[in-house]
Amino acid sequence: MGEAGAEREESWAVATLAGGCFWCMVHPFDQWPGVKQVVSGYTGGTTVNPTYAEVCSETTGHREAVQITFDPREISYARLLELYWQQIDPTDSGGQFVDRGSSYRPAIFCHTEEQRQQAEASKVALEQSRRFSGPIVTDILPAGPFYPAEEYHQDYYRKNPGHYGRYRQGSGRALFLERHWS
């Protein structure tokens, strides 16, 4: 790898965001310039290398999340946070849409103090906007180990576009987002 490639590699940053079902959290991010990859996975719990079945059993402490590798020179963390808030119901502490339970609770997992400060500021700004009638309850937590989900969960919207579209509509996510962000 040449010097330019090595410099570019060193510039990548990581954002980890939980917003309910990870299938619906990939597409909003992976089309943006500066986003290298979006990986579906599990984070926030205690079980090492959990499986989907284990996470769904609500015994691991993990949440479904996406980990976004991005170039902050092309897309800022603040912009990723703006996009994040537009994908979730930040007033729901019991899960997201039809997906209920702790593994579907929204959270921003911060990798640095700067990310924590930006996440806190974005949460306050959203609260002050009064876009939502209830309080913003999305957690802001320190990032820990992230475990990629099984391969069939990766890029689900591309692999199974029909099912993905029906799920996004049927879960109530699409209508909620249209009502609050259109």
Catalytic residues: 21
DSSP string for residues in the chain: --HHHHHHHHH-EEEEEE-SSTHHHHHHHHTSTTEEEEEEEEESSS-SS--HHHHHTT-S--EEEEEEEE-TTTS-HHHHHHHHHTTS-TT-SSEETTEESGGG--EEEESSHHHHHHHHHHHHHHHHHT-SSS----EEEE---EEEPPGGGTTHHHHSHHHHHHHHHHTSHHHHHHHHH-
Contact present, 55 and 64 (Cβ < 8 Å): yes
